[in-house]
Amino acid sequence: MERKTQNGYLLLADISGYTSFIARTEIEHAENVISPLLETIIGKLGDMFTFVKLEGDAVFAYVPEDQVSNCSAMLELIDNTYLIFRDSATDMHEHATCPCKACKAIPSLDLKFFVHHGEYVIQKVAGTIDLLGNDVTLIHRLAKNHVTESTGWNGYVLFTGQCLARMQEDKKSFIQQTETYEHLGDVETYVMNMRARYDEKKNRHLYL
């Protein structure tokens, strides 16, 4: 049966520092930290996106283009997802009752988002779904980039130029970078510091 090509927004939410966190901590304790954080991410993104699958330290999700009103609505969701992730991690660290390496290393974790607009085909096999297509490949390739190298940021959101153009969003508040991938060529990206946005919101709340 021929599958229908659809258009929408693809999102990958990836926990920064996961590899080193797992490598230098006790696996059982590490799982007790990572799993609740991933659950909070999936739960909040579910306000707009459809969850596709968990990919180790990353959450992959999508939303049809006609279900997104504008970039502000998506940025608000990403802000709120980052906030609940950051607050949950801080709460776990502050209330940890064991001296394990995993609990001590929680502050090293951060969260980054990748958002792209494009085409995809929904594949359904044995009761599960997955997405196929070149744009699906691209959103995953974007996780390998030069953002941290060039900015020092570990928590950020990266939109493709194609995505912002579709949402008719002003690019002035973003830092522009170009990433190059084999078989995909140059990809224009626009990046924003999520940790700075979080700190600003927290400080503003303190003085209200």
Which residues make Cβ contacts (< 8 Å) with residue 171, sequence separation at least 6? 161, 164, 190
Where the chain has pLDDT below 70, the residues are 1-2, 17-30, 100, 102-103, 205-208
Residue 11, pLDDT score:
98
Residue 3: per-residue pLDDT? 75
Residue 207 confidence (pLDDT): 46
Go through the chain and tell me how many residues it has.
208
Query: Is 18 strand, coil or helix?
Result: helix
Q: Tell me which CATH code domain 5-206 carries.
A: 3.30.70.1230
pLDDT at residue 205, as a whole number: 64
Identify the bridge partners of residue 10 per DSSP, sorted by sequence position: 62, 116
pLDDT of the residue at 127: 80
Do residues 109 and 21 touch, judged by C-beta distance below 8 A? yes
What's the pLDDT at 107? 80
